[in-house]
């Protein structure tokens, strides 16, 4: 038995599912193959933020208005299909932990044009009032529109939605044994063969070592997250926090995720004790008293794929016109996934040019 489709997508993470959805909007037939499972890669994070102000200076993210609108409406669309809540609109607090950090954040805030109601500068006293016990020097940012998402649960619900939408087929636990191009793409799997007009790689960190894409300048950064639960009482705040790494508030009043991507040289991709200690140390810097009263419930590790200009890479392979890439989502997978999937499909059907900042054409296969 074999499958015949317009598009075959390798990878069932934020990139793969978003592009499958956008293609289905234009009635293309799609098949999604994952060597493991839905959200098995970086997108399996049990708590991620949609945070429009990132980095130490809290800089406004590239194309953030469009990215935010796309992910917010997509989360709402998918949430309506399931009883299980996978995201909350609880805001993100960005306390400055040092004077220099506060100065830079404030400067950046004053020079930036933020949409109304997205971002407010708060003085130290105001931040401490919002969040008793937090470490804050001179002030920080309050981002009321920040979202907190259980990305793994979102993608599980998204896959169910896609199966119903356009009969999108999912082949899980299947790694291509052979990929050949002869008029169409022939993808040989253990149990079946897929014949497709177009092939899209949305394979996250594996892109960096792929035969077709290993010439691109990806940087891999490992991160760890842990779920913590307070021993007694309930948490005295209901927002998430972005300071040293991030703290994603879960909905049960007693648990949160502390996470950070920080390991540029790593020898394995599993969780470890140093990871847990590192996260606890970071928690102590932001919330000095909380760390003593929480126990670790679970731990998770993932690798994010970054690029020299910190923007994703999308486009056609320079040799194979029908071979496509959607990768390098970096630390902003949620903000970029749906917006850039829609943008790429508009490009495929000939309505738009790709934004130069993300176009694969900015890199050369064989630089002179
Ligand atoms: C610790 C951590 C915290 C993060 N926090 C946030 C956050 O708060 N907010 C945010 O927006 N982003 C966050 N990110 C970044 C975000 O997770 C990524 O940008 C995003 O998940 C990347 O999605 P992707 O679909 O490109 O890759 P992935 O999610 O890695 O998906 C790739 C998929 O491809 C599959 N695959 C690989 N090779 C093959 C193959 N040969 N054939 C078939 N399938 C294959 C894998 O099994 C995997 O399922 C975080 C990342 C990490 C590591």
- CATH number, domain of 313, equals 3.50.50.60
Q: How far is the CA of 305 from the centre of ligand 1 (A)?
A: 8
* pLDDT tens-place string over residues 278-337: 999 999 999 999 999 999 999 999 999 999 999 999 999 999 999 999 999 999 999 999
Together in a domain, 142 and 223 = yes
Q: How far is the CA of 260 from the centre of ligand 1 (A)?
A: 14
Q: Using an 8 Å Cβ cutoff, are 191 and 174 in contact? A: yes
Q: Tell me how many domains the chain contains.
A: 2
pLDDT band at 368 (very low <50, low <70, confident <90, very high): low
* pLDDT tens-place string over residues 230-251: 999 999 889 999 998 999 998 8
Residue appearing with tokens 């200690």: 277
Together in a domain, 39 and 92 = no
Pairwise CA distance, residues 194 & 31, whole Å: 9
The yes-or-no verdict on residue 12 having pLDDT over 60 is: yes
Asked if residue 69 belongs to a domain, the reply is no
Asked if residue 77 belongs to a domain, the reply is no
* pLDDT tens-place string over residues 168-221: 999 999 999 999 999 999 999 999 999 999 999 999 999 999 999 999 999 999
| pTM of this structure | 0.97
Structure confidence at residue 367 (pLDDT): 61
Q: How far is the CA of 49 from the centre of ligand 1 (A)?
A: 14
Ligand 1 atom closest to the CA of 333, numbered from 1: 19
Better-scored residue on pLDDT, 148 or 262: 148
Q: What is the chain's mean pLDDT, rounded?
A: 96
Structure confidence at residue 180 (pLDDT): 97
Structure confidence at residue 252 (pLDDT): 86
Mean pLDDT of the region 103-114: 96
Structure confidence at residue 22 (pLDDT): 98
Asked if residue 194 belongs to a domain, the reply is yes
- In order, the DSSP letters of 80-107 are TT-SS--EE---EEEE--SHHHHHHHHH
Q: Using an 8 Å Cβ cutoff, are 140 and 102 in contact? A: yes
Pocket of ligand 1 (CB under 6 A): 10-16, 33-36, 40-43, 45, 48-49, 175-176, 202-206, 223, 225, 246, 259, 261, 302-304, 327, 329-335
**Is 183 exposed, middle or buried (CB count within 10 Å of its CB: 0-12, 13-18, 19+)?**
exposed
Q: Of the residues 31, 33, 41, 52, which should be mutated to test ligand 1's pocket, given the most ligand atoms within 8 Å of the CB?
A: 41
Q: How far is the CA of 13 from the centre of ligand 1 (A)?
A: 6
Q: Of the residues 42, 269, 337, which should be mutated to test ligand 1's pocket, given the most ligand atoms within 8 Å of the CB?
A: 42
Together in a domain, 296 and 232 = yes
Residue nearest to atom 23 of ligand 1 (CA): 14
Ligand 1 atom closest to the CA of 305, numbered from 1: 19
The yes-or-no verdict on residue 166 having pLDDT over 90 is: no
- Strands 53-54 and 59-60 turn out to be antiparallel
Together in a domain, 195 and 211 = yes
The yes-or-no verdict on residue 13 having pLDDT over 70 is: yes
* Pair of tokens at residue 165: 């939408």
Mean pLDDT of the region 248-275: 93
Together in a domain, 301 and 313 = no
Residue nearest to atom 5 of ligand 1 (CA): 48
Asked if residue 129 belongs to a domain, the reply is yes
Q: How far is the CA of 186 from the centre of ligand 1 (A)?
A: 25
Range of the structural domain that residue 16 is part of: 2-44+152-215+309-362
* Pair of tokens at residue 163: 């199966």
Together in a domain, 162 and 127 = no
**Residue 98 is part of a domain; what is its CATH number?**
3.30.9.10
């Amino acid at each position: 038995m074999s499958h015949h489709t317009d598009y075959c997508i390798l990878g069932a993470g934020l990139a793969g599912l978003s592009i499958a959805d956008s293609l289905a909007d234009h009635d293309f037939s799609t098949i999604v193959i994952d060597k493991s499972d839905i959200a098995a890669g970086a997108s399996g994070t049990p708590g991620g933020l949609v945070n429009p102000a990132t980095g130490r200076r809290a800089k406004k993210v590239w194309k953030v208005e469009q990215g935010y609108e796309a992910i917010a409406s997509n989360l709402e669309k998918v949430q309506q299909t399931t009883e299980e809540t996978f995201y909350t609109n609880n805001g993100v607090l960005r306390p400055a932990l040092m004077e220099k950090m506060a100065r830079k954040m404030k400067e950046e805030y004053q020079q930036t044009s933020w949409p109304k109601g997205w971002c407010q500068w708060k003085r130290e006293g105001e931040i401490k009032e919002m969040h008793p016990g937090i470490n804050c020097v001179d002030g920080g940012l309050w981002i009321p529109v920040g979202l907190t998402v259980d990305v793994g649960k979102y993608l599980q619900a998204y896959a169910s939605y896609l199966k119903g939408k356009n009969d999108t087929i999912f082949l899980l636990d299947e790694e291509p044994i052979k990929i050949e191009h002869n008029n169409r793409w022939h993808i040989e799997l253990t149990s079946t063969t897929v014949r497709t007009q177009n092939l899209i790689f949305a394979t996250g960190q594996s892109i960096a070592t792929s035969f077709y894409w290993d010439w691109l300048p990806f940087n891999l950064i490992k991160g760890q997250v842990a779920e913590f639960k307070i021993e007694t009482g309930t948490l005295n705040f209901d927002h998430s926090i972005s300071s040293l790494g991030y703290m994603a508030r879960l909905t049960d009043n007693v648990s949160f995720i502390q996470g950070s991507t920080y390991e540029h040289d790593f020898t394995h991709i599993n969780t470890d004790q140093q990871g847990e200690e590192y996260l606890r140390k970071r928690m102590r810097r932001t919330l000095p008293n909380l760390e003593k009263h929480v126990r670790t419930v679970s731990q998770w590790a993932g690798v994010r794929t970054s690029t020299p200009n910190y923007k994703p890479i999308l486009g056609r392979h320079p040799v194979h016109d029908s071979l496509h890439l959607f990768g390098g989502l970096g630390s902003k997978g949620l903000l970029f996934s749906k917006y850039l999937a829609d943008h790429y499909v508009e490009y495929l059907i000939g309505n738009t040019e790709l934004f130069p900042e993300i176009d694969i054409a900015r890199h050369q296969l064989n630089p002179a």
